[in-house]
Structure 1
Amino acid sequence: MNSIESAKYRKHLEEDGVPPQQAVAHADALGEVLENLKETLATKAWVESFVKQQLQELKFDMVQWMVTLFVAQTGVTIGAMVALIRYLPR
């Protein structure tokens, strides 16, 4: 929290009946918490890169499943055709 916001917050607390020393302590403590949050919160760039990575992994998994199911379906179809040719009367 910058100094202008801190002073505004402190003034607001004092107007609501908080003693000046406590208002200063509250404003300083809140400023420290907000500064620490800036360091630990996810940034837009981080979220975008994380989402992009997850989508790439998902696409790879989807293609892998599609190829696997295509091969299995082809095997079942060929097996059914062989069974029909083998067991149908000529």
Structure 2
Amino acid sequence: MNSLESTKYRNTLEAGGVPPAQALAHADALGEVLENIPTKDWVRAEIQALKFDMLKWMISLFLAQTSVAIGAVVVLIRYLPH
């Protein structure tokens, strides 16, 4: 929250009957909260990273599943009577 918005918010609180010290504390607290809200670009970057991680896991699990299936077929072929 920039200083102009902070001042306007504080003045609005004071006009509503909030003591000046308390209005200032509210404005400062709200400013800190608003500074920590993530941006759209940050959220998009995080989602992109998660998509990449999910793809890595899916490929790894697919390869592991395929290896187990091939191993099971080899065992069945080798140890079943002909």
Q: Give the match for residue 50 of structure 2.
A: 50
Structure 1, unmatched stretches of 5+, are: 86-90
Query: TM-score, with normalisation over the residues of structure 1?
Result: 0.60
Query: TM-score, with normalisation over the residues of structure 2?
Result: 0.64
Q: Would you say how many aligned residue pairs link Structure 1 and Structure 2?
A: 78
Structure 2, unmatched stretches of 5+, are: none
Letter matched to residue 30 of structure 2: L
How far off is 1:15 after superposition?
A: 4.0
What secondary structure does 1:48 align onto?
Answer: helix
Structure 2 matches for 1:1-40, cutoff 5 A? 1-35=1-35, 37-38=36-37
Residues 4 and 48 from structure 1, CA distance in 2 versus in 1: closer, same or farther, beyond 3 angstroms?
Answer: farther
Sequence identity (%): 38
- CA RMSD across the alignment: 2.6
The structure with the larger Rg is 1
Residues 22 and 77 from structure 1, CA distance in 2 versus in 1: closer, same or farther, beyond 3 angstroms?
Answer: same
Letter matched to residue 56 of structure 2: Q
How far off is 1:72 after superposition?
A: 1.1
Q: Could you tell me how far apart the structure 2 residues matched to 1:51 and 1:38 are?
A: 22
Q: Could you tell me how far apart the structure 2 residues matched to 1:46 and 1:57 are?
A: 17
Residues 70 and 11 from structure 1, CA distance in 2 versus in 1: closer, same or farther, beyond 3 angstroms?
Answer: farther
